[in-house]
């Protein structure tokens, strides 16, 4: 029990400390935020490839990083109105990568390694590029802060309620400690949080509720998805960089699924 609460206070401390730091980076200007996203991408890819190494796969960190950073580059290009022939670039990169696999020594795992390389660049690179897309929207800095707060409130509420009163397992084969009670609490407090943030989002109540539910549900799915990857690799955490949280992916797995959903909700929900 003591270890459980110690972990909780570590997680809470990181969140309390992390939000002001990220807020400062977000409101500073585009360059520090861009650098932060790039660092996150490289660390996330490194953790994900370490997981795959546990199953003796050999994805390419070099090409995975190139593909991942390409998505960020394309997001910046849209911002700066650069005319990028994105089809040509991505096709050439893919061809070069696939040709390079002809020279790999272990061909028995070639298919897995190719699939993991491309998947990781989409999972980490493409999904995180939506954080840049959100920032570049009108009022984007406030949108980003709102997204971070909602995702982290969802995580903390689900953890506290699930630990305190959770009985019914949500996905026992993937993450045995997560409960349906915790999941419902995460959704409920996400809705309450986004309503409190309505002066920053400037949307009507119905849209706020839909966004709150969508971010919470997809955020929890992102958490479960990363748990599934870790279970497949037979590891507890993706890394040990962040006290009480594990690795970068452990902390931001929910955000990777929530960011695209939040972005499209803003754009397309009337």
Task: Please state, in angstroms and as integers, the Cα–Cα distance from residue 71 to each residue in 67, 82, 89, 225, 255, following that order.
Answer: 7, 14, 11, 21, 17
Residue ranges of alpha helices (H) inside 55-85 are 61-79
CA quadruple 245, 246, 251, 253: dihedral sign: negative
Number of domains within the chain: 1
Q: pTM, whole model, 2 decimals?
A: 0.87
List residues bridging with 169 in a β-sheet: 179
Alpha-carbon distance of 145 to 168, in angstroms, equals 32
3-state secondary structure of 95: helix
pLDDT in tens, 32-48: 888 889 999 999 999 99
How large a percentage of the chain has pLDDT more than 70?
88
* pLDDT tens per residue across span 148-202: 999 989 998 998 899 899 899 999 989 888 999 999 999 999 999 999 998 888 8
Range of the domain at 173: 2-268
Q: Tell me the C-alpha distance between 37 and 24, whole Å.
A: 14
pLDDT of residue 84: 55
Of residues 39 and 21, which shows the higher confidence score?
39
Average pLDDT over residues 188-217: 93
Continuous segment of H or E residues that includes residue 238: none
Quick: pLDDT tens for 103-162: 877 777 788 889 999 999 999 999 999 999 999 888 889 999 999 999 989 998 998 899
pLDDT band at 262 (very low <50, low <70, confident <90, very high): very high
């Amino acid at each position: 029990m003591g270890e459980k609460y110690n972990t909780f206070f570590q997680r809470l401390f990181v969140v309390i400390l992390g939000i002001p730091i990220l807020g400062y980076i977000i409101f500073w200007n585009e360059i520090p935020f861009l650098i932060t996203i790039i660092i996150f991408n490289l660390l996330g890819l490194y953790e994900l490839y370490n997981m795959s190494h546990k199953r003796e796969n050999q994805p390419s960190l070099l090409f995975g990083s190139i593909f991942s950073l390409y998505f960020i580059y394309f997001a910046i290009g849209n911002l700066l109105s650069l005319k990028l022939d994105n089809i040509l670039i991505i096709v050439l990169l893919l061809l070069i990568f696939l040709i390079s696999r002809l020279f790999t020594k272990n061909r028995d795992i070639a298919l897995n390694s190719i699939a993991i390389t491309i998947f990781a660049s989409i999972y980490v690179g493409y999904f995180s590029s939506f954080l840049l897309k959100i920032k570049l929207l009108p009022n984007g800095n406030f949108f980003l802060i709102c997204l971070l707060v909602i995702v982290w409130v969802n995580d903390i509420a689900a953890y506290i309620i699930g630990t305190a009163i959770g009985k019914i397992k949500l996905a026992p084969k993937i993450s045995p400690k997560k409960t349906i009670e915790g999941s419902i609490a995460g959704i409920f407090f996400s809705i309450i949080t986004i309503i409190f943030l309505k002066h920053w989002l400037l949307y009507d109540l119905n849209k706020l509720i839909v966004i709150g539910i969508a971010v919470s549900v997809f955020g929890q799915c992102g958490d479960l998805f990363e748990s599934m990857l870790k279970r497949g690799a037979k590891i507890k955490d993706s890394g040990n960089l962040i006290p009480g949280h594990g690795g970068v992916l452990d902390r931001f797995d929910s955000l990777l699924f929530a960011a695209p959903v939040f972005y499209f909700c803003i754009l397309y929900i009337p």
